[in-house]
Amino acid sequence: RDALELYNSGVEKLNRQDYENAIVDFRNSIDIDPYLLISYAPLSAIIINILQDYNQAIELTSKIIELEGFENNNDLIYADIYNNRGLAKSYLEEEELAIEDFNKALEIDNSRGLTYASRAFSHNNMGEAELALDDLNKAIDIDETIPNVFFSRSSCKQQLGDFRGALDDCAIALEKDPDNINII
């Protein structure tokens, strides 16, 4: 099988939530063709979200960034790759390094609402609530359908003393996701 076939097989398995075998296919596709960008984003997402092996995710995403990089191949998938590396760094509480990767992802594609939200989380963890609020506003401007972004913005507004705004955002989040125990 060639690298693209393995990638496609990995996507099918990912869609069936067969993460273990999806990982195998994505890894094999990269072994055959280390420049197959499309395999890096879903593989690193599985490693982050399912395996929760953040160091492995950083190693994987750094591999393609160092091997080729956006400067040599202006493919927008690099925004996903930088975003995923930023998430992994944030989970390791390396917030300044995470913000650098989120910044790079947004340089490549500034229409990524979830990247703004992720960067906001890092800013907030560093005690920079105003920067976090700016990023959450941008995330909502891009995509107002994500309840957790409103909930995060509610928390930021509360930290900044805007209790009415915090309550309003919390109500929006609850309306969008009425069963979310964290919002309740």
- In Å, what is the CA distance from 160 to each residue of 128, 134, 141, 154, 173? 10, 12, 20, 10, 19
Residue 56's nearest CA partner among 28, 80, 92 is 92
pLDDT at 184: 85
Greatest CA span in the chain, whole angstroms?
58
Indicate if the pLDDT at residue 175 is higher than 90. yes
Instruction: Express each pLDDT in 148-161 by its tens digit.
Output: 999 999 999 999 99
Sorted by sequence, the CB contacts under 8 Å of residue 23 that are 6+ apart come out as 10, 43, 46, 47, 51
The SS3 of residue 71 is coil
Mean pLDDT computed over every residue of the chain: 96
pLDDT in tens, 113-161: 999 999 999 999 999 999 999 999 999 999 999 889 999 999 999 999 9
Q: Which residue has the tokens 């963890």?
A: 125
DSSP letter assigned to residue 50: I
**Which of 65, 67, 61, 106 is closest to 84 using CA atoms?**
61
If DSSP states are collapsed to H, E and C, what string results for 92-150? CCCHHHHHHHHHHHHHHCCCCHHHHHHHHHHHHHCCCHHHHHHHHHHHHHHCCCCHHHH
Please report which confidence band the pLDDT of residue 72 belongs to, taking 50, 70 and 90 as the band edges: confident
Q: Quick check: pTM over 0.85? A: yes
